[in-house]
Amino acid sequence: MKVLLLKDPKEDDCGQDPYIRELGLYGLEATLIPVLSFEFWSLPSFLEKLSHPEGYGGLIFTSPRAVEAVELCLEKDNKTEVNKIGLHTEGENCGNAGKLAEYICSRESSALPLLFPCGTLKREILPKMLKDKGIPVESLTVYQTIPHPGIQGNLNSYYSQQGIPASITFFSPSGLTHSLKHIQELSGDNIDQIKFVAIGPTTAHALAAQGLPVSCTAESPTPQALAAGIRTALQSHGC
The pLDDT value given to residue 13: 72
- 3-state SS string for 1-60: CEEEEECCCCCCCCCCCHHHHHHHCCCCEEEECCCEEEEECCHHHHHHHHCCHHHCCEEC
> Which residues of the chain fall below pLDDT 50?
76-81, 84-86, 88-92, 94, 239
Is CATH 3.30.70.580 correct for 2-35+149-236?
A: no
Quick one: fold of 39-146?
Answer: Rossmann fold (3.40.50)
Query: Distance (Å, rounded) from C-alpha 65 to C-alpha 67?
Result: 5
Same fold, 2-35+149-236 and 39-146: yes
Give the Å distances, CA to CA, from 29 to 121, 165, 227: 32, 10, 11
The pLDDT value given to residue 22: 96
The pLDDT value given to residue 139: 92
Q: Which residues pair with 119 in a beta bridge?
A: 143
Query: Distance (Å, rounded) from C-alpha 236 to C-alpha 226?
Result: 15
The pLDDT value given to residue 45: 92
Sorted by sequence, the CB contacts under 8 Å of residue 144 that are 6+ apart come out as 38, 39, 41, 119, 120, 121
The answer to whether 14 touches 21, Cβ cutoff 8 Å, is yes
The pLDDT value given to residue 77: 42
The pLDDT value given to residue 99: 57
- The neighbour count for residue 188, using CB atoms within 10 Å, is 9
Domains of the chain, by residue range, sit at 2-35+149-236, 39-146
The answer to whether 103 touches 94, Cβ cutoff 8 Å, is yes
The pLDDT value given to residue 85: 47
The pLDDT value given to residue 127: 83
